Structure 1
Amino acid sequence: MALGQLSEEQRIPLIGDLLGLQLAFNPGTIMSLGSNSTWVFTVIGIAAAIVLFYAAWRATSMAWAIAIGFVWGGAVGNLIDRLFAPPGFGHGHVTDFLAYGNLFIGNLADIFIGIGVGLGILQMLRSHRSQLRSRGLTPDLGHADSSTMLGKRES
């Protein structure tokens, strides 16, 4: 749909100048970094897709599987463009269409990667907090009784 309805020259505003739709073809990574190394990103994308699929398969919890799955989905989405989009196999440019102000233009795969990374960070913080609690290094505020909450101590 983006290819048929959007243009590289004209931006369609969605939320003023903050978010809009504009077509871009990105040979590199975010903000076109590494645009002369598209084939490197293709190889990295293939390796990442394999490693992330295995990691999701072996995830220790559903939360980790979901976080990894989001990153995997984004990586595969961008990899498909790298493999099959012009200018050629393994050198394809990623189709971007979500313009974030004047910062950069991205796509849904980028959003999925961001969500997955965010969920992964939350899961790591949750795990770290749980480990501290099990070692008695932090109070378990979720199970505090009223005397603890009022600052009273037993003698």
Structure 2
Amino acid sequence: MPCKRFQTDTVMNRLHSRIQILWILKWLLLGIGIGVGVSVLTTTFSVTDLSTLVIVFLFLIVGTMLAVLRFRRFRYEIRKDGIHLRQGVVTIRDTFVPADKIQHIDINHSLLGRPFGLVSLRIHTAGVFDGQITIPGLDSDRATALSNQLNQLTDDGKSV
């Protein structure tokens, strides 16, 4: 029987759809870097080098599939007692962080995320889940609202 804290009667929130483009772009840049690296190592560097194009194309295809799957599976929900995340491509992982374990919250504006208007919300925890969890692919207004909502939760828990 599933743990009661992971059962939800509400619809969990999704990330902004533009995050898929950002994730695909990261895979494409990785493919270009590896493709150029392979060309340099084989000393046959050429823009039309077939191995470079194949590597870039494979990274683009795999990156697109992973970005779409990751987007479809990533969910989050702020509850009165903490935050629940569900994420994963191959293995689905449910994570629950109680409000009393939240230490502080950062909003990160990455270099690649800025042109898409996307930020990440990083929640630092008291020794739980490697000390932090991240919700990527939020617009700035949503991240600020979530940060305020989580701060309200932690303040309420401390005053009781």
TM-score, length-normalised on structure 1? 0.26
**Higher relative CO (CA 8 A, sep ≥ 6), structure 1 or 2?**
1
TM-score, length-normalised on structure 2? 0.25
More strand by share: 2
